[in-house]
Structure 1
């Protein structure tokens, strides 16, 4: 409060409905960074615990279809963000969206909320609402419900949002990465105006402080108008994939193409179907009035290629921050979040091993930190040598680099054809592959303590394929993982149990590989 008892317009109390969703989970930290207080309305508050901002925001359990819980969450709120839609909940999602929006608008009015901010879909103005796809029709109807109610509303209408986790972007990602040759529906020629998630968030945050008399919808989009075909080819270029051959086939109806998308991508059919039905509509901005209230910055809104590069984390030499990197948190709005759906973020293959061992974590860590170089990799030395020879044959680094120090590692050290990406002494060693691969690969080794107080060795091999060749590579080597990675896990724990470390004896790894040795237990 100000000294005169009036609310501070620069520090607002914001409610975010849909904080566990794609945009909501990224909006909350932006609002906090802008100095606002945030309350999240969530059906499952536990889903928000993994967010790095969880301790800085209040969580109100509730559902937008339950008037009582919405009324409770609205108390003391200045700006209410509605980032919810029932897409994927079944054929009745339009009715659910309509009912929820009406409840939200009514309770906002009762609670004296200053403004409702809603992110909807960009719709073609030349087509009657009744002729729109169910998905776009519902988004338009929800926006109109907020505009028809007494509380001033800001309705932002966006087309494809470019960022890891966006359903439309994930469809674009998977189709382009997995299909070097695509027989596609005619909607690949449909024009759209994509926008980067960072610009969407900037407009959402800026909408909180709009003048009270503003009560309208705004078209928001990036500077580029592209067809889906052009976006697929741009994706392939930025991702370092060969040029994609795209052959449109008019006989593929939106319904048939949704089955095609469901077959090729992991995006659920309940989401893919209404989205693909919407792709037949050309959606481009007809005005840019939002700049009157949220002024454009230099280079913003950003071009498609730049938004795409950020979504793929290929700007300059930026480290890939991913949801599978357990020791990291997202560093930018375009990064994946812990609450993003499992099908978001691109394909990820994982081989995970876990063994308990009757030694201290320090003894286990000594073996982990001594791995590689002259000390070996604790399984099938000939297989590792062959892989190194193959890598050098195709111009890679091979195994010739060894390691800097026989006992200690630090971030940035080369380790054969790996690079030390992260190290938490006594707990975690993460290596990033620098061998020639059709994708990105990591190897993680942990010394942990389980719930029963036992020392546990955990090992994860991770592979993010690039294109169809990347998927083929993973499945071609998968049959050998039990021997390579399974043997490594067994022999590392056995070496620790015997009080050995790789640097103590070059023959240590070989002795640990004897078939008669078994781990004490598997968890």
Structure 2
């Protein structure tokens, strides 16, 4: 080994929690090795300037082993001469057999750690009750068991929602709380959760390296408060200066449907939301705080939820959604006003036209358009806010241009048809509007499929309007 500083191996180092652990270890003077599929990804991390070009890391530096945690040879190479290893890997996919693959990967890691003479393993799993668990939570328990039975002293820490700006669980909470002033939600929002601030979680994860060698067990870690998920949304809103959120409960669980809903209203993809929701199907609270007896509490004690939230959103725009929905609502309302001022279904000219049998009765149009205008405003706002959150600036600028074009075409049709009495021009304009609407659906679906589905009725209606305009033109060639 090089130098007197201890050598740490961190897996999952390019993830949020893993990256924070690496940073704390560096600050504490460890030599750090990371196992990553991509050395470039490691170098692009916040601690990337600490990565050595080649050779062994010195105290406060990082060396990268480029490899796959599923490869025994790569794992063996990464574990060579390591004092303490952090296993911070967990799949968030839903492919068949993922649980068996995760357990096998953890077992391989544990066997190679034993062979390499690693003095301790540290793992982060999930808080859970006794009894039946969701597939993802059960997989985390199985991974912890594989490490605990390895023969290498293991600290398997168990946490709930981690409050930090890069935590997927927190990002889901944040966007739900910011974008939903109220909702009727599945009954799991009444389950009790015990969140933990990222700094507190890292305190325990890094400190666990110095547990006595005879300690081989799980430890619960969490913040000072256990609360219902609905309360977390409400308290988040208050912590960032928004009004409290009103949430009613429906007597259903529907994790699959809820994941689709989250994929629609937040930047979190439904494939990621599903396992996150699976972990919320149970009460996930702290049952013991034995780790404090070994390590002590974080400086200042466990971080209160509101303080953790404010630290996590520092530098983030918690008002972006309000501004975006206000802007799209104003633009759509202006379009609706211009269109309605140009519409005169009671005019003598319109009544004189021959109309196809499939034309809906007059009362259908204002109802349909009111719903569709609301759809355009909300889905466009969600799409634009997501693009801003994801820093897809060029895509967002193009979406704004496409939306402005669509609304201009929408407002112009009534003027061309009802005021100008120009059936051919109205037919062409309706066709262009339908193409523009389909393009908006495409752009929204590119952000998430759920957004495309939500906006699809608008594209379908404008396509129907094109067919109707064409029929009116054919049936009234002299008008």
TM-score (norm 2): 0.63
- Tell me, in whole angstroms, the C-alpha distance in 1 between the residues paired with 2:187 and 2:200: 29
**1:312: how far off?**
1.1
- Tell me, in whole angstroms, the C-alpha distance in 2 between the residues paired with 1:296 and 1:33: 19
Cα contact 1:170–1:346 (8 A) shared by 2: no
**1:291: how far off?**
0.6
Judged with a 3 Å threshold, the aligned counterparts in structure 2 of structure 1 residues 51 and 251 are, in CA distance, closer, same or farther, namely: closer
- Tell me, in whole angstroms, the C-alpha distance in 1 between the residues paired with 2:242 and 2:76: 50
List per-residue Cα deviations over 1:256-291 (Å, max 9, x = no partner).
Answer: 222222222221222211221221200111100001
Please state if 1:16 is matched with 2:16. no
The equivalent position to 1:91 in structure 2, one of 88, 91, 96, is 96
Alignment of 1:206-221 (within 5 A): 206-221=207-222
* Structure 1 vs Structure 2 CA RMSD: 3.0
Please state if 1:288 is matched with 2:306. no
- Tell me, in whole angstroms, the C-alpha distance in 2 between the residues paired with 1:463 and 1:28: 28
Alignment-derived partner of residue 44 in structure 1: 38
**1:243: how far off?**
2.1
List per-residue Cα deviations over 1:307-334 (Å, max 9, x = no partner).
Answer: 1111111xxxxxx279xxxxxxxxxxxx
- Tell me, in whole angstroms, the C-alpha distance in 2 between the residues paired with 1:199 and 1:41: 24
Q: Secondary structure at the match of 2:111?
A: helix
Please state if 1:81 is matched with 2:86. yes
Alignment-derived partner of residue 183 in structure 1: 184
Please state if 1:26 is matched with 2:20. yes
**1:297: how far off?**
4.1
Judged with a 3 Å threshold, the aligned counterparts in structure 2 of structure 1 residues 347 and 13 are, in CA distance, closer, same or farther, namely: farther
Alignment of 1:162-173 (within 5 A): 162-173=163-174
**1:67: how far off?**
0.2
Alignment-derived partner of residue 409 in structure 1: none
Alignment-derived partner of residue 445 in structure 1: none
Alignment-derived partner of residue 414 in structure 1: none
Alignment-derived partner of residue 244 in structure 2: 243
Cα contact 1:188–1:227 (8 A) shared by 2: yes
- Tell me, in whole angstroms, the C-alpha distance in 2 between the residues paired with 1:46 and 1:347: 32
Instruction: Report the structure number with the largest CA radius of gyration.
Output: 2
Cα contact 1:90–1:270 (8 A) shared by 2: no
The equivalent position to 1:121 in structure 2, one of 108, 114, 126, is 126
- Tell me, in whole angstroms, the C-alpha distance in 2 between the residues paired with 1:312 and 1:245: 22
**1:49: how far off?**
1.5
- Tell me, in whole angstroms, the C-alpha distance in 2 between the residues paired with 1:47 and 1:477: 34
- Tell me, in whole angstroms, the C-alpha distance in 2 between the residues paired with 1:239 and 1:475: 28
- Tell me, in whole angstroms, the C-alpha distance in 2 between the residues paired with 1:464 and 1:259: 19
Cα contact 2:178–2:321 (8 A) shared by 1: no
Judged with a 3 Å threshold, the aligned counterparts in structure 2 of structure 1 residues 309 and 36 are, in CA distance, closer, same or farther, namely: same
- Tell me, in whole angstroms, the C-alpha distance in 2 between the residues paired with 1:26 and 1:346: 27
Alignment-derived partner of residue 108 in structure 2: 103
Alignment-derived partner of residue 159 in structure 2: 158
Judged with a 3 Å threshold, the aligned counterparts in structure 2 of structure 1 residues 78 and 89 are, in CA distance, closer, same or farther, namely: farther
Structure 1 gaps, min length 5: 314-319, 323-344, 350-461, 466-470, 481-523
**1:476: how far off?**
11
**1:148: how far off?**
0.7
Alignment-derived partner of residue 258 in structure 2: 257
Q: Secondary structure at the match of 2:307?
A: helix
Judged with a 3 Å threshold, the aligned counterparts in structure 2 of structure 1 residues 348 and 249 are, in CA distance, closer, same or farther, namely: closer
Cα contact 2:121–2:147 (8 A) shared by 1: yes
- Tell me, in whole angstroms, the C-alpha distance in 1 between the residues paired with 2:321 and 2:246: 25
Q: Secondary structure at the match of 1:232?
A: helix
Looking at secondary structure, tell me which structure has more strand per residue: 1
List per-residue Cα deviations over 1:32-74 (Å, max 9, x = no partner).
Answer: 1111110000011211122242223100011111000000011
Cα contact 1:42–1:59 (8 A) shared by 2: yes
- Tell me, in whole angstroms, the C-alpha distance in 2 between the residues paired with 1:171 and 1:291: 29
TM-score (norm 1): 0.58
- Tell me, in whole angstroms, the C-alpha distance in 2 between the residues paired with 1:250 and 1:303: 31
Judged with a 3 Å threshold, the aligned counterparts in structure 2 of structure 1 residues 252 and 121 are, in CA distance, closer, same or farther, namely: closer
Cα contact 1:173–1:346 (8 A) shared by 2: no
Structure 2 gaps, min length 5: 52-60, 323-386, 391-395, 406-479
Q: Secondary structure at the match of 1:104?
A: helix
**1:186: how far off?**
0.7
Q: Secondary structure at the match of 2:210?
A: coil
Structure 1 segments, 4+ long, off by >4 Å, are: 345-349, 462-465, 474-480
Alignment-derived partner of residue 397 in structure 1: none
List per-residue Cα deviations over 1:86-129 (Å, max 9, x = no partner).
Answer: 1226233212211110110001011110011000001113x2xx
Please state if 1:63 is matched with 2:68. yes
Cα contact 2:197–2:223 (8 A) shared by 1: yes
Cα contact 2:188–2:253 (8 A) shared by 1: no
Cα contact 2:267–2:389 (8 A) shared by 1: no
**1:195: how far off?**
0.3
Cα contact 1:105–1:151 (8 A) shared by 2: yes
**1:140: how far off?**
0.5
Judged with a 3 Å threshold, the aligned counterparts in structure 2 of structure 1 residues 258 and 346 are, in CA distance, closer, same or farther, namely: farther
